[in-house]
Structure 1
Amino acid sequence: MPIDPFADLPTHAAALRRGDYSSVELAEFCLDRLERHGPALNAVVTLTRDRALREAKRADADLANGVDRGPLHGIPYGVKDLLAARGYPTTWGASPLRDQRFDHDSAVVAKLTAAGAVLCAKLAMTEWAGGFGYQQADASFTGPGVCAWDDTRWSGGSSSGSGSAVGAGLLPFALGSETWGSLHSPANNNGVCGLRPTFGRVDRTGCMTLSWTMDKLGPLTRTAHDAGLVLHAIAGGAPPGGDGKAGGTGEGFPRDEMVADRSYRYPPDENDAPAFKLAILPGAADRAQDAVRENYDASLKTLRSLGTVEEIELPPYPYSIAATLIINAELASAADDFLAAGLTWDLTAPEDRFGGYAARLIPAVDYLNALRLRAKFARELDALFAPYDAVVTPARSTVAPPLDRPFDRYAPGTQAETLGGPANAAGLPGLCLPNGFDPDGLPTGLNLVGRAFDENRLLAVGRAYQRATDWHTRRPERWA
């Protein structure tokens, strides 16, 4: 049976169990596509071929022996190159760190190994996850990330390779990270789903730190349902024990002390609500491009057929200022050795070479006041969002920007994401869904935001929306 590069996870899982193709055949198929098409997208840092084939052979042997590790068993994936994989380079997108290697897997890679998934690639990202303030697409030693739908457009940052690899059908799913927009930007630009979990939902042991109190790891997938399946596998703390052949379990890294002691189950035991209660923000699409606004309005019409939609207003806080200050202050600490050694002068984007130094001058009192303000508005947002299954906004105000133009010269004055600052600072989950295209065939996205640890309510809305629409089934013909 031919392998469909754009198949969702249940389709691959069923085919593997029927024997339509083996995990080794699926891994070789993805490795070949990564090798052939990855360079055109600037999406791949390192192919993990030996490990992939070893893991795929084990997955096939397990199924043959009646051992089924779940819905990700035998399915290939890739990870943003800020996640360690034992023995392979983990470059953080930065030229000075091309040869950086770790002796252990990150916690999420170890958990996916335990779930039977097959690691095929370390995927491109903007250098230091964009923390030094890049202002244009060419901000990684692998080159600017290229959109899966148009090779003159940006794939989004900072999880650029993860977004384009899934968007172009090179991998069934990939992991990325978000501090502020780094999952939703590539999801929007490449027409895929991006799930930003609640802060603390996923163990970050073995992951590069940009901001200790805002970094979050999550999946990029074809569907909302797929995103839930991946989150089920990676949620919670690092797995205990493990065999050395699997690459370790995050041992050897400083532990992520901010992992929440909260269980997560997907699919959930309860059924979806018969009708959803949704909220929107006044003016959320007013400054968006025409196609973004039109597709958002059409999405709201669909959502109104699934439940109720009413307006709410955010409490008046300087969300973006507080979020920016927290990120910059924590970056200055996380990157202190890198900055002190002058390694920024070997970064790709000219503005990244000096952008981190100003952060070292942030007064402690400003940082502490921003943390106090965040605690206050996080409580108020929780109370405001409590009655709703999701708050709905455009995922981004624009389609993928041109590769050859600085960001501030493309649709100047537009908002990146209305809830980007508030939701990320408060650690709230978000789900980005494809919801249409502009006249040039570039995808747009819809953003669902919920209360902390309410990912399953967002996923329920996302599944219902995708049952009512077919945007998630569209594929860029170039890669078919």
Structure 2
Amino acid sequence: MPDFPDHPFATVPELGAALRDGRTTSRELTEYYLDRCDELGPKYNAVVTVTRDRALEEADRADRELTDGNDRGPLHGIPYGVKDLLATAGTPTSWGAAPFKDQVFEKDATAVRKLADAGAVLVAKLSMVELAGGLGYDQANASFTGPGLNPWDPSRWSGGSSSGPGSAVAAGLVPFAIGTETWGSIVTPAAYCGIAGLRPTYGRISRHGAMALSWTMDKLGPMCRTAHDCGLVLAALVGADPDDESCLDADWTYPVDDAPPRRFRLAELKGTTDRLQQEVADNYQAARDVVAGFADIEEAELPDWPYEEVAGTIISCEAATVFEELVRDGSIREMTAEEDRWRIYSDLMTPARDYINAQRLRRKIQRAMDEFFADYDAVISPTLSTVAGPIDQPFHEWSRGFASTSIGGASNASGIPAVSVPNGFGEKGLPTGLQFVGRAFNELTLLRLANAYQERTDWHTRHPEV
């Protein structure tokens, strides 16, 4: 093991400093994390494939370049993992589903290529809910690799659909990972596993080479030890891509040295704490008190739109279209979760007018949300209403009686960014999360808020005994 403290849970800047001052090499780091993936990956059902040969080749290149004075930036020589719906040349990309477990693509996804260009080292393909949850699963055991297990308590779920990235970062198998979110799939495992997760604006990161679930709602994003790490990873991924017409060439750099021009102004939605587990509510109030030291918080209400219905209709219709071939060829019967074998049939029967009307309403929702955020830097809220639930119970059983505000549906329907960071521990010592949601393409403000909170707290330094 390379010689510096708390190594498995070190941040990207800490690992970068150790590389540059000679305390370790990329090869040493890479071999260490490869071994952790081999040893601990099965313990949490977190790893599908360890990419050892590729990783060592990339690590050796990173070391040579650093020796020659060619420094590619903060991610140079840093190992990482990707959710197994991102194509990696010559390595299986399973999409978490049994029918595709031997699927191999010839080229890397754009995000994987960009991380290679930044000098990062791919060590593992990480587990996920089958087909990213697009078939409507209601249980943790919805992947051919088994349920995602939470490193804080393996009898609890790590969250979906980016279950492997959540478990792997929390357990110190990788310093950071790339997840995806259509509705909750980055912020949920981030909150349940006690790490940071950034869902960027729709169109901020290319999805070329990623499995499609919902063409108009899918987003890629970083899952890391800290919000600051998320910003460093995001900076390597942004930019236009001719292979993804939805990806915009919007300027964005990180980090920046200038301080915010004023105190932040945040909205807290009416009823934010009404239907939360008590510990979640208590941790949110304590976090809110910290944030109040650098931000003004006022109660507000979102514009009155059917956010969840619009987002749910769009996802159901687009996912049914994407996966219709599974019905035609009978592969749908190979899904792990029982409900994933039949729910698509009802989605396939959704009238076209419902989808068209949902998209028409979505335009109005996007406009309304943009106008709402003209008055606020962000909405502050608990990320989720409960801690992670037991892996042996359907979601609807252990979450009964609890609910978050409508910001989840509203923000994903409108494609705006969010960041979740840990803010304490609740039932059974499981992590809870604090979330900031902001205006489209305003990730920098959200990171400033999250960084300011993490500078004043130490929840992000806690890690499970693995």
TM-score range, shorter chain: over 0.9
Counterpart in 2 of 1:88? Answer: 91
2:160 to 153, 157, 160: 157
Alignment partners' CA distance in 2, 1:284 and 1:209: 32
Whether the 8 Å contact between 1:284 and 1:418 is mirrored in structure 2 is: no
Alignment partners' CA distance in 1, 2:404 and 2:64: 47
Letter paired with 1:337:
E
Alignment partners' CA distance in 2, 1:297 and 1:339: 47
2:25 to 22, 26, 35: 22
Alignment partners' CA distance in 2, 1:149 and 1:393: 23
Whether the 8 Å contact between 2:275 and 2:404 is mirrored in structure 1 is: no
Counterpart in 1 of 2:190? Answer: 187
Query: Bigger CA drift: 296-305 or 411-420?
Result: 411-420
1:446-472 per-residue CA deviation (whole Å, 9 max, x = no partner) reads: 110000000000000000000111111
Whether the 8 Å contact between 2:317 and 2:355 is mirrored in structure 1 is: yes
Secondary structure of residue in 2 paired with 1:357: helix
1:463 to 442, 447, 451: 451
Letter paired with 1:315:
P
2:298 to 310, 313, 318: 310
Counterpart in 2 of 1:447? Answer: 435
1:379-435 per-residue CA deviation (whole Å, 9 max, x = no partner) reads: 111111122221111100000100111111103032256311110010000000100
Matched, 1:211 2:199: no
Alignment partners' CA distance in 2, 1:411 and 1:145: 17
Alignment partners' CA distance in 1, 2:394 and 2:77: 41
Matched, 1:168 2:156: no
Runs of 5+ consecutive residues of structure 1 not aligned to the other structure: 241-254
1:198-250 per-residue CA deviation (whole Å, 9 max, x = no partner) reads: 00000000000000000000010011110000000011234x9xxxxxxxxxx
Counterpart in 2 of 1:52? Answer: 55
Secondary structure of residue in 1 paired with 2:297: strand
1:334-388 per-residue CA deviation (whole Å, 9 max, x = no partner) reads: 1122232121100100000111121111111110100111110111111111222
Counterpart in 2 of 1:251? Answer: none
1:376 to 337, 358, 364: 364
Alignment partners' CA distance in 2, 1:205 and 1:331: 17
Matched, 1:389 2:392: no
Secondary structure of residue in 1 paired with 2:8: coil
After superposition, the CA RMSD in angstroms is: 1.1
Runs of 5+ consecutive residues of structure 2 not aligned to the other structure: none
Alignment partners' CA distance in 1, 2:263 and 2:402: 33
Counterpart in 2 of 1:134? Answer: 137
1:128-147 per-residue CA deviation (whole Å, 9 max, x = no partner) reads: 00010110100000000000
Counterpart in 1 of 2:234? Answer: 231
Counterpart in 1 of 2:277? Answer: 289
Alignment partners' CA distance in 2, 1:265 and 1:256: 21
Counterpart in 2 of 1:328? Answer: 316
1:356 to 334, 344, 362: 344
Counterpart in 2 of 1:40? Answer: 43
State the TM-score, normalizing by the size of structure 2: 0.98
Alignment partners' CA distance in 2, 1:214 and 1:43: 25
Give 1:270 deviation, angstroms.
3.0
Alignment of 1:52-71 (within 5 A): 52-71=55-74
Give 1:272 deviation, angstroms.
3.0
Change (3 A) 1:83 1:308: same
2:77 to 67, 74, 81: 74
1:110-158 per-residue CA deviation (whole Å, 9 max, x = no partner) reads: 0000000000000000000001011010000000000010011000000
Question: Share of identical aligned residues, percent?
Answer: 54
Alignment partners' CA distance in 1, 2:263 and 2:80: 34
Matched, 1:367 2:355: yes
Letter paired with 1:369:
N
Letter paired with 1:382:
D
Give 1:10 deviation, angstroms.
0.3
Whether the 8 Å contact between 1:44 and 1:121 is mirrored in structure 2 is: yes
Letter paired with 1:76:
P
Matched, 1:197 2:185: no
1:45-98 per-residue CA deviation (whole Å, 9 max, x = no partner) reads: 000000000000000000000000000000000000000000000000000101
Matched, 1:177 2:180: yes
Whether the 8 Å contact between 2:280 and 2:385 is mirrored in structure 1 is: yes
Whether the 8 Å contact between 1:107 and 1:237 is mirrored in structure 2 is: no
State the TM-score, normalizing by the size of structure 1: 0.95
Secondary structure of residue in 2 paired with 1:351: helix
Change (3 A) 1:2 1:270: closer
Whether the 8 Å contact between 1:385 and 1:451 is mirrored in structure 2 is: yes
1:116 to 115, 119, 128: 119
Letter paired with 1:375:
R
Alignment partners' CA distance in 2, 1:270 and 1:337: 51
Whether the 8 Å contact between 2:307 and 2:406 is mirrored in structure 1 is: no
Matched, 1:31 2:34: yes
Letter paired with 2:150:
C
Query: Bigger CA drift: 334-343 or 389-398?
Result: 334-343
Change (3 A) 1:11 1:417: farther
Give 1:273 deviation, angstroms.
4.1
Letter paired with 1:97:
F
Change (3 A) 1:41 1:417: farther
Alignment partners' CA distance in 1, 2:114 and 2:65: 17
